[in-house]
Chain A
C-alpha cells in the first residue's frame, strides 16, 4: 500500500469506529444515561473511555499525546534532535475540528480572501497564489505560547505542555507582505485577523475555534509567510492544509491554519482567543495565583530566548574518564541567539558551547559542547541561551501568569558519572 492508501485506511478505520459509537453505548460505558443525548453530534468520540485512544495519529511517530479531541501532542525532547524537524515529529496544537478538505488533501473550491482595510479585496486560489508572488523557502521555529505550562504553580489552565511544543520545519510559500501590498494596505490598517476552515468543537457554524492575528507591522515583516508546503510536502492535515500563516518568533497561535481569510482591521483584532486570559499575560509581575483583571492583561508578542538539550536524554550513565558530547538547539523570538553555555556544577561555573549560525533568521541554531566530569557521582547538565539583546534563560520557571505562558526556564538533564 502506498502512503496515501495507508492514510485513507486509517481515516476509514477511524470513521467506522466513530460510527459504531452510539449514545446508548456511551451511556453503558459511563454507567448512566446521558442527559440531552439527542444533542450529541453524530460520530462523537467516546472519550469517557479514553483508553480507547489507540495512540495512532496519522503521519505522526513517537509523540506524547495529551488530548484526543481536539488533538494535542508534544514531542519528547530527544526526538527533536534533527536540525529540521521532520513532519512526523512536529508537535500538534489544535483548537477545533480539522476540516474534511485537509484529510482529503483536496484544494477544490478553496480560496483565500484578503479584505478589510485594503484598496481591493483579493480572492486567490492556491494556483494563483503560487503564480502571482515570489516563492520563498525558510526554516522557521514554531513554538506554542503555552510550551512549558506544566512548570507553573499554582497549576495553569490548559494542556500541560512540558518541553516539546516547539519545532523547526522548512516551509515554502510567499511573503504575506507581497500579498497585502498587492491588495493595497490602507493607512487605517492596524492589525490582521485570520479565519480558518476548522470548525468550533460545538460545531456551531457561527463560532470560530480560534481567530487570532498580529499588528500590521508584523504582518508586513519580510519573515511572515503564507505557506503551503512543510518539508517539501503539501501541509499535512494537522498543520493546516492547504495554507497556513507563520509569524515566526511569535506564539504559534498567531499563525492560523486551514486559512481562508485574512481580515485587515482598523483596530486590534478581537477574534476568538484574542481577549481575556488567552495568549495574554499581566502587564506587571504578579504573585503566583493572583486573579488579574482582563484590562490588566496584554497580548503576547515575541517569544523569549530558549534552548533544548536534545542529546543525550536525561538519566544516562557515562564514564568519568571520557568526555560526554552534548548538543541541542537555541532560538529566540527576538532573532539570533549569540551565546550558549552549559554548567555541570549547578550553575557555579559555565562552559561556552559551540553555537552554529541559523539557516535563516528565526531558524533555530545548533549548539554542541563536550564536558568531562571530574569525579564519580550525580551531575546535572544545565543549558542556557543568550540572545543578541543579552536576554538569557532564567534558571527557574519565570513569572507566574494565569494561563502559564512563556516558560523559558533552562532545561536540565541528570547524568550519573561512573
Chain B
C-alpha cells in the first residue's frame, strides 16, 4: 500500500517519465460516487466482480437496466425486488451517465489524451 502511494506521489512529481521507469503498476480504478444508492449497488454487484468495471462504464438508464437483466440471465445474479432495482437504477443512471465528466478520467492518460477528441456528430 505504502509503495503504491509513493508511486502515486512520484507520478505527480515527475509526470510522464514514470511511464518509462515505473516499477509498480498504476491503478486506473475509479471510485464509485458517494450518492444515495451506492451501498445497494455495491452489495448486489461485488459478490462476483469489482466496482472498477461499474465505475468505468457510462450508460443510459435503459442500458443499465439491460445490464442487470443480462447479469441475472447469464451470470447467476440473484433476484432483486422491484423497489431495490429502482434505487439501483436511480443511482447508476445519474452517477454513471454517458455525459458524466468522470468518463474522461480514463482517457486522460498521458499517452491517450491526444487521441480522444469529442465526436462532433454526437450530442
Give me the interface of A with B, judged by CB distance under 8 Å: 26, 30-32, 34-37, 39-41, 44-48, 50-57, 60-70, 73, 76-79, 150-151, 153-155, 157-160, 162-163, 200-202, 204, 207, 272, 288-289, 313-315, 380, 397, 409, 411-414
Q: Can you name 9 A-B residue pairings with CB atoms under 8 Å?
A: A63-B25, A64-B26, A67-B49, A155-B58, A155-B59, A160-B106, A162-B109, A314-B16, A314-B111
8 further A-B pairs in the complex, CB-CB below 8 A; given A30-B43, A55-B24, A79-B20: A35-B44, A36-B43, A60-B25, A61-B22, A61-B25, A69-B49, A155-B58, A162-B111
Complex CA gap A154/B115 in Å reads 16
Evaluate contact between A162 and B119: CB separation under 8 angstroms.
Answer: no
Q: Are A50 and B78 in contact (CB under 8 A)?
A: no
Bound Cα distance from A46 to B122, whole angstroms? 37
* A50: chain B residues within 8 A (beta carbon): 27, 29, 31, 50-52, 55
Decide: B25 and A68 in contact? CB cutoff 8 A.
Answer: no
Give the contacting residue for A61; candidates B23, B49, B106; CB below 8 A: B23
A62-B24, A66-B29, A155-B57 known; A78 vs B47 contact (CB < 8 Å): no
Please judge, given known A-B contacts A76-B19, A313-B16, whether A157 and B59 are in contact too, CB under 8 Å. Answer: yes
Give the complex CA separation of A349 and B110 in angstroms: 26
Report the minimum CB–CB distance from A396 to chain B (whole Å): 8
A residues in contact with B103, CB < 8 Å: 155
List the A side residues contacting B57 at CB < 8 Å: 155, 157-158, 160
B63 x A315 contact (CB < 8 A): no
A44→B75 CA distance, assembly (Å): 17
Are A55 and B26 touching (Cβ within 8 A)? yes
From B44, B46, B67, residue with most partner A Cβ within 10 Å: B46
Across the interface, B49 reaches (CB within 8 A) one of A160, A201, A207, namely A201
Partner of A202, one of B25, B52, B75, B111: B75
Q: Interface readout for B81-123 with A: 1 if CB under 8 Å, 0 if not?
A: 0001000000000000010000100110111111110110110
For residue B90, give the distance in angstroms from its CB to the closest CB of chain A: 16
Residues of A within 8 A of B9 (CB): none
How far is it, in angstroms, between the C-alpha of A157 and the C-alpha of B68 when the chains are bound?
13
Q: What is the number of residues of chain B that contact chain A, defined by CB distance less than 8 Å? A: 60
Complex contacts, B46 vs chain A, CB 8 Å: 26, 44, 46-48
Question: Which residues of B20-79 are within 8 A (CB) of A?
Answer: 20, 22-29, 31, 38-40, 42-44, 46-53, 55-59, 63, 67, 74-78
Question: Given A64-B25, A412-B115, A47 and B51 touching (CB < 8 A)?
Answer: yes
CA of A48 to CA of B39 in the docked complex: distance in angstroms? 9
Contact assessment for B4 and A55 in the assembled complex, using a CB-CB cutoff below 8 Å: yes
* Residues on B with beta carbons closer than 8 Å to the beta carbon of A68: 29, 50, 52
Q: Are A69 and B78 in contact (CB under 8 A)?
A: no
A53 to B59, CA, bound (A): 25
A63 lies within 8 A of B26 (CB):
yes
Q: Which residues of B contact A65 (CB under 8 A)?
A: 25-29
For residue B14, which residues in chain A have a CB less than 8 angstroms away from its CB? none
Which residues of the partner chain B approach A380 to less than 8 Å between Cβ atoms? 114
| Given A39-B47, A44-B46: A288 and B75 interface contact (C-beta under 8 Å) | no
Chain A residues with CB under 8 Å of B42's CB are 30, 47-48
| Chain B residues, CB < 8 A from A289 | 122
The answer to whether B49 touches A70, judged by C-beta atoms less than 8 angstroms apart, is yes
Contact, CB under 8 Å: B110 / A315? yes
Within the complex, the shortest CB–CB distance from B68 to chain A, in Å, comes to 13
Across the interface, do A315 and B52 meet the contact criterion of CB distance under 8 Å?
no
**How near does chain A come to B120, taking the closest CB pair, in angstroms?**
10
Known: A30-B38, A55-B7, A315-B16. A45 touches B59 (CB 8 A): no
Say yes or no: A45 contacts B109, CB within 8 Å: no
CB-CB under 8 A from A150, the residues of chain B are 106-107, 112, 116
- Residues of chain A lying within 8 A (CB to CB) of residue B27: 50, 53, 55, 65
**Assembled-state Cα–Cα distance A81/B80 (Å):** 48
A153 touches B39 (CB 8 A): no
Task: Determine the chain A residues whose CB is within 8 A of the CB of B15 once the complex forms.
Answer: 315
A53 CB contacts on chain B under 8 angstroms: 27, 29
Q: Which residues of A contact B113 (CB under 8 A)?
A: 314
Given contacts A155-B57, A201-B48, contact A313 B26 (CB under 8 A): no
- List B contacts of A45 (CB < 8 A): 50
A368–B13 Cα distance when bound, in Å, is: 31
Contacts of A46 in B (CB 8 A): 46
